[in-house]
Amino acid sequence: MKRNTPLITLLTGAVLGVVLLISSMLATPSNKPVSYSAAATAEPVSPAPSSAAPSPAEASSAAPSPAEASSSAPAVTGSSPAYSGTSSPAPAESSAAGSAPAAAPSPSATRTTPTRADYAGRVGGGGGSVAVSVHGNKAIAYVCNGSTVEGWMRGKVENGKLVLTGKNNARLSASYHAGKVSGDVKAHGTDYSFSVSTVSKSSGLYEATARVEGKTIKAGWIVLGDGTQVGSLETDANSDQPVAVTAPTLDVATMTARIGNVVLHAIPVSGVTGTGF
Amino acid sequence: MTTRQDALPPTRANSTAAKLIVPCLIGALVALALGIYGRVHSPTGIAINIAGFSSPGTVKSWLATGATVFAVVQVVSALVMYGKVPRVSAPSWIGGLHRWSGRIAFLLAVPVAIHCLYALGFQQYSTRVLIHSVLGCLFFGAFTVKMLILPKRDLPGWVLPVVGAVVFTVLVVIWLTSAYWFFSTFGIKR
């Protein structure tokens, strides 16, 4: 045989690996144009027709959200200037709030602010998901990149606005209404903007806790409508600054996940049903 | 290929070491690069998926199982080639079987590794995961070494079997800590 065939084998594998890696990188952001800028840039560069297919639909639903986000604030509260000045960091939003009554698109008139709702989706720019569950005047949110960046946040709902905080200086500020929640979230020093929709059946936010070797571990998973999930696991959830790792895959059918011989039983954190609150 | 070295190699031991040092260094660099990438790159949790399977976990488990099956073919065909199987003389096609089963096993393993590295990263939250992460990086380093020393002449007869055995053992442990774990935890499903 020729002496260089092993080298060809190696190079073939390397090329295959690089191609798969690049297509993963290209496919990941184009599937998630949830922030306005991502929606604008993802479409022209996405090469694969299959991955580009959902983009127009998502982009069109994401595109009106700046107007909705800004117009919903005055729609639901008379004191919205105070809110937009203090709790919404996006300058576009606060400036638009002043002129919102004139600029308000007609769909916003039919928007209502639900008291029970679950939202989940990918954050802008990819690499993570966020889930928000609203139950009455309480809300729980979880942001997670499937690894070390994650954070549980809780807080009160006030006038269609969410300001939720958690450990490790995690913070979420957003406005929400029927069908969509938009805002910014920060965890482990990483900022994300997001605009995500209501979840459908069996998707959404799940959590599981267990005692392992004297410590409480807490896992969180965000399952999206297309079946993809990200999850992280805090190895010492009672710590003031919990550290997280990638969670084992959650089997949504059985609501279980396993780490070694420990079986985690997950429960949905749902504002609609109230479980997990 | 006929890299069998039945006769004692005429070269000295230090020239054997000299022949092995560069492939081993390259292999070490490959393993190190994969590990560093897996550690530094922040895992996305998702990567491209293959149609027809219910989840990335099942895809990877079946691909890894396929690679492991072909790896078993590797060991058997190697034993036959080296005349270690009693009353079986090596047929003419055994070399081709060995080469092609190896290539297929390797190419099946690559997508699994890419998904691991891109979506999950190098993790250590349990012993199983740590072993899997370490050996996953080592496997491609060891395979690189094997490929690089294959064309070299005048190596002692033990070198290729030892390297091949390392590659096989590492792959089987990787399979045990991933696909076997997956199937035994979640059931055998597509």
Domain-embedded: residue B165 = yes
Say if the Cβ atoms of A7 and B151 lie within 8 Å. yes
Residue B98 · residue A1 · CB < 8 Å: no
Q: Which domain holds residue B162?
A: 13-186
Q: Which residue of A has its CA nearest to B153?
A: A3
For chain B, say whether A165 makes contact (Cβ under 8 Å).
no
Domain-embedded: residue B112 = yes
CA distances from A160 to A35, A155, A244 (A): 20, 13, 31
Chain B CB contacts of A149 below 8 Å: 42
Q: What is the pLDDT of residues B48-97, one digit of tens each?
A: 666 566 666 788 889 999 999 999 999 999 999 999 989 888 899 999 99
pLDDT tens for each residue of chain B, 190 residues long: 444 445 455 555 678 888 899 999 999 999 999 999 988 876 665 666 665 666 667 888 899 999 999 999 999 999 999 999 898 888 999 999 999 999 999 999 999 999 888 877 887 767 888 999 999 999 999 999 999 999 888 888 899 999 999 999 999 999 999 999 888 877 787 7
Say if the Cβ atoms of B148 and A7 lie within 8 Å. yes
User: How would you label A123-161 residue by residue, b for 16+ Cβ within 10 Å and e otherwise?
Assistant: bbbbbbbbbbbbbeeebbbbbbbbbbbbbbbebebeebb
Please tell me which of the candidates B57, B95, B147 has its beta carbon nearest to residue A9.
Answer: B147
Please tell me which of the candidates A13, A24, A233 has its beta carbon nearest to residue B125.
Answer: A233
Distance CA B98, CA B90 (A): 11
Say if the Cβ atoms of A245 and B150 lie within 8 Å. no
Say if the Cβ atoms of B99 and A10 lie within 8 Å. no
Distance in Å, alpha carbon of B154 to nearest chain A alpha carbon: 14
Say if the Cβ atoms of B95 and A5 lie within 8 Å. no
Q: Give the residue from B148, B117, B93 showing the smallest Cα distance to B38.
A: B117
Distance CA B27, CA A6 (A): 14
Distance in Å, alpha carbon of A251 to nearest chain B alpha carbon: 8
Domain-embedded: residue B5 = no
Residue A232 · residue A245 · CB < 8 Å: yes
Q: What is the pLDDT of residues A33-75, one digit of tens each?
A: 333 333 333 333 334 344 333 434 444 444 444 433 333 333 3
Domain-embedded: residue B6 = no
Say if the Cβ atoms of B42 and A235 lie within 8 Å. no
Please tell me which of the candidates A16, A147, A251 has its beta carbon nearest to residue B110.
Answer: A16
Say if the Cβ atoms of A7 and B147 lie within 8 Å. yes
The number of folded domains in chain B is 1
Q: What is the pLDDT of residues A207-251, one digit of tens each?
A: 998 888 888 899 999 999 888 899 999 988 888 889 898 999 998
Domain layout of chain A by residue ranges: 10-61, 64-111, 118-277
The model's pTM is 0.51
Residue A233 — φ and ψ, nearest 5°? -135, 120
User: DSSP 3-state helix, strand, coil percentages of chain A (rounded to 5)?
Assistant: 30, 35, 35
Residues 66-85 of B with CB under 8 A from A: none
Chain A CB contacts of B115 below 8 Å: 20, 24
Q: Say yes or no to pLDDT of A96 above 80.
A: no
To the nearest 10°, report the CA torsion of B48, B128, B29, B146.
Answer: -90
What SS3 state is found at A80? Answer: helix
